[in-house]
Structure 1
Amino acid sequence: MKKYLLSFALAFMSLTAFAQTDYEKIMTDKIAKIETCKTPEDFQTLANDFQRIGSKESSQWLPQYYAAFASIQKGRVMMRTGNMMELDAIASQAEKYLGMAQNLAGADNAEIHLLRKMTFSLRMMVNPQQRYMTDGARASEELTVAEKLEPGNPRIALIKAEDTYFTPEQYGGSKTKGIEQFKAALAKFNAYKPKTALDPNWGKSEAEYFISLPEEKAK
């Protein structure tokens, strides 16, 4: 009987290890695709993929986090092309994923608060003048929370640099100051080590891109 129980336990441990390895492989493959997505459709497909992974791996917060991130990136691509009509719906979908991620990861997760900041920024861009005091204020609150939780996080520095770079000078923005902040963000990226191979590690290439812009384009 003892031998049978031991065999069962070993078999169960082997199956668990295999399932974990399979999960990590799938997640690694999907995370790598973030860098290659270009269109809203690409990011939507990726968000759907992460959501399906999350439905199977219901104890893991990262699939829902990445589903939210892919949704946000979809919105940001649309925003850059002037398509603001769907940003509210995209932000709502991202917030749904973030709610699930936070239920699993806890409230003190800087990465989740940073994505919440980005969803509120998407909402604000639908009508900046009307929404600055509501969605804009909530975006700032989430960024402050994220920075208090993890001041050395390079993605927080990156998003702050973006805000400075793209905000018009009459509202306190500055492309020159933004570039300096991108440089500071890059220094943080170079010193940063994610907790695991699957944890968030995006953003370095964006900082490098802005730093590499010719001076006349950066102004």
Structure 2
Amino acid sequence: MNINKTLLTLAITLPMTFNALAGQAEIDTIEQAAGTLNISALETIAQEVSGYDKALAYYRLGLSENLSGQTEPAIVAIDQAIELLEQLNSNSVDDVEIKALLAQVYGYKIALEPLKGMYYGPKSNEVLAQANALDPNNPRVQLVTGISKFSTPAIFGGDSKEAYQAFDKAITAFSTDSNSNYHWGFAEAYTWRGLTYSKAGEQEKAKQDWQLALNVNPEYNWAKILLEQNQ
């Protein structure tokens, strides 16, 4: 199983036309485009939105381009997301959502360019620690914490048990997050927690979590793929 090649592959049909959306509608549209690796739609969305939403669109664009084998454009998109988020973070030093996304984007920068890990790793850890200090119950803070703990080698601080705890905490927090206007990542949290079960050899619990991800989002393709691969 190649986790990197299936990460965040959501099978949701993207509405091909949209106007100037606000709040959660923008987040939903970005996530829908990312679900089908719809690069052209994400490029369009990134030009139509601003602020946090623009940074999220560039992050999802970078993911989609990389998963489609377009590494260089992915690096450009991630760099754009980093630049935007760093500016936003400088202007809103107590915004936990900006810090959580920035930590995740720094982490993905390392995935794209591992030799830059010595630079971006500490930056990701620092801003994620700040996010945890601001709101340790934020679901995306815990989701990103879990991804970091799961993906980082043990020698550099990775820990599957701590990853499980973070994903479990994220799932609990997502139950009251639907009106946050930043609501993304719920199905991901179940899917990642399932991966911690799978890594521990508990395949039935893993499959239960992947099914729970589909209960949250019946079209979530990553969970579908994992279930199919582990029948």
Match of 1:154 among 139, 144, 156: 139
Unaligned runs of 5+ in 1: 1-21, 54-62
TM-score normalised by length of structure 1: 0.67
When residues 46 and 27 of structure 1 are mapped into structure 2, their CA distance, relative to the original with a 3 A threshold, is farther
Match of 1:92 in 2: 79
The equivalent of 2:229 in structure 1 is none
- Equivalents in 1 of 2:110, 2:157: separation in Å? 17
Aligned length: 182
* Distance apart, 1:217 and its partner CA: 5.8
Q: Is 1:48 paired with 2:44?
A: yes
**Which amino acid letter does the alignment assign opposite residue 143 of structure 2?**
L
Query: Greater shift after overlay, 81-90 or 181-190?
Result: 81-90
Distance 1:217 1:144, change over 3 A: closer
CA distance in 2, matches of 1:91, 1:34: 15
Other-structure match for 1:139: 124
Which residue in the other structure is 1:75 paired with? 62
Calculate the TM-score normalised by the size of structure 2.
0.64
RMSD: 3.1
Following TM superposition, the consecutive aligned residue runs of length 4 or more in structure 1 with deviations greater than 6 angstroms are: none
**Partner Cα distance (2:78, 2:101) in 1:** 10
CA apart distance, 1:98: 2.9
Q: Please report how far the alpha carbon of residue 27 of structure 1 lies from its aligned counterpart in structure 2 after TM superposition.
A: 5.2
Task: Find the counterpart in structure 2 of residue 208 from structure 1.
Answer: 190
Instruction: Check conservation: 1:155, 1:203, Cα contact below 8 A.
Output: yes
CA contact (8 A) 2:82 2:102 kept: yes
On the 8 A contact 1:117/1:139 being kept in 2, the answer is: yes
TM-superposed deviation, 1:178: 2.3
The answer for the alignment partner of 2:12 in structure 1 is: none
Q: Which has a greater percent of helix?
A: 1
Aligned to 2:13: none
Q: Which amino acid aligns with 2:102?
A: R
How much has 1:81 moved relative to structure 2? Answer: 6.0
Q: Which runs of 5+ in 2 are unaligned?
A: 1-18, 202-231
Give the Cα–Cα distance (whole angstroms) in 1 for the partners of residues 36 and 83 of structure 2. Answer: 22
Q: Could you tell me the percent identity over the aligned residues? A: 24
